[in-house]
Amino acid sequence: MVSPLILSLRKQKNFYGSKVKILSPAKINLYLNITGKYANGYHRIESIVERVSLCDTIDIEVTKSLKIAVSSNLKSLVTNDNLCVSVAKLINKKCNLAYGYDIFLDKKIPVGAGLGGGSSNAASMLIALNELLNLKLSLEELYKLGSKLGSDVNFFLAQRRFAVISGRGQYVKPFDAKTYNHFIVWPNLTLSTKKVYEKSRVKLTKFLCNVKMLKYALKKGDLTLIKKNIFNALDKSACNVCGKVRKLKNHLNDKNIFARVTGSGSAMYTIFDNDSLQTIDRGLNKSCSIFEVNTF
């Protein structure tokens, strides 16, 4: 079955000239706790993640040249370090292929905002190439590749709306829940994930685990209980690292709008029932970008 993320697909007999266009959605963290630290310095986490309807799109064409070329509407992403290029190289090596690729990334998800854009791009590339080239890689095989590429890649490979992720993010347990509406508010700046984690100073025994309660609330659609159990161990750290993030959170809280940092920031999200775009936008003076999204 072709992935519902794939918008268009055209295969050629020898694959040269084959094309695919695929969506690459964002995520928000409804729960994120640090549960330990690996010997290599990476943090062990437990998180509830929701996929949302803010999406990049990726166009891929197979070429006879061995060159892997990426272009984008965002010039800073036109680099060999782009995860889309890394995936193409990884697939060629894994499957002993000798294809080139022309890749165009239409970037809508803010970079360095805690929305998982890079990991999502990597996952969508894997899904797209697996289908386009008839590779027949299983989900477990894709997970192994995803674990090499980034912390949130396997969540996006699961192609599910909600999941509990753990370890570095490589372990994924999807679950079903209601759908929700959100505003994502991004203060038009990038935060360093490494710096936010370094500044977190989280005491590992400090927080109770409310994963089960939050999963229950999400399944029932209980907004009061959801808001009570939403948690991000990096929220304070992100606000401490960047005064603009703290100012944004205070601005929203002063308007009695429930807002939390997603991932390591810098974006924040709301879960709204009575919130309105006009209420959120008032006083921001174009210093922020606002996206209205839903569970996707």
Q: Which domain holds residue 229?
A: 181-294
| Strand-pair partners of 183 | 292
Question: Residues 96, 170: one domain?
Answer: yes
Question: Residues 171, 221: one domain?
Answer: no
pLDDT tens digits along 48-81: 999 999 999 999 999 999 899 999 999 999 999 9
Residue ranges in the chain assigned as alpha helix (H): 83-94, 117-132, 139-147, 153-158, 193-198, 211-220, 223-229, 235-241, 243-254, 277-281
Q: In this structure, what CATH number is given to the domain that contains residue 213?
A: 3.30.70.890
Number of C-beta neighbours around residue 67 at 10 A: 9
Question: Residues 110, 188: one domain?
Answer: no
Instruction: Give 290's contacts (C-beta < 8 A, 6+ positions apart).
Output: 183, 184, 185, 186, 277, 280, 281, 284
How many structural domains is the chain composed of? 2
Instruction: Note the pLDDT of residue 205.
Output: 44
Please indicate whether residue 59 is annotated as part of the active site.
Answer: no
Kindly name the residue from 21, 27, 215, 249 that is annotated as catalytic: 27
Question: Residues 167, 101: one domain?
Answer: yes
The reply to whether 90 falls in a domain is yes
* pLDDT over 50 (residue 155): yes
Residue ending a domain, choose from 175, 193, 217: 175
The reply to whether 198 falls in a domain is yes
Question: Residues 167, 245: one domain?
Answer: no
Please indicate whether residue 27 is annotated as part of the active site.
Answer: yes
For the record, the structure tokens of 74 come out as 């965002």
Question: Residues 126, 189: one domain?
Answer: no
pLDDT tens digits along 9-46: 999 999 999 999 999 999 999 999 988 777 676 778 99
Question: Residues 189, 161: one domain?
Answer: no
- Give the percent of the chain with pLDDT over 90: 76
Residue ending a domain, choose from 127, 148, 175: 175
Kindly name the residue from 21, 56, 152, 215 that is annotated as catalytic: 152
The reply to whether 1 falls in a domain is no
What's the mean pLDDT in 87-99?
97
Query: Which residue is it, tokens 């294809």?
Result: 99
Question: Residues 167, 215: one domain?
Answer: no
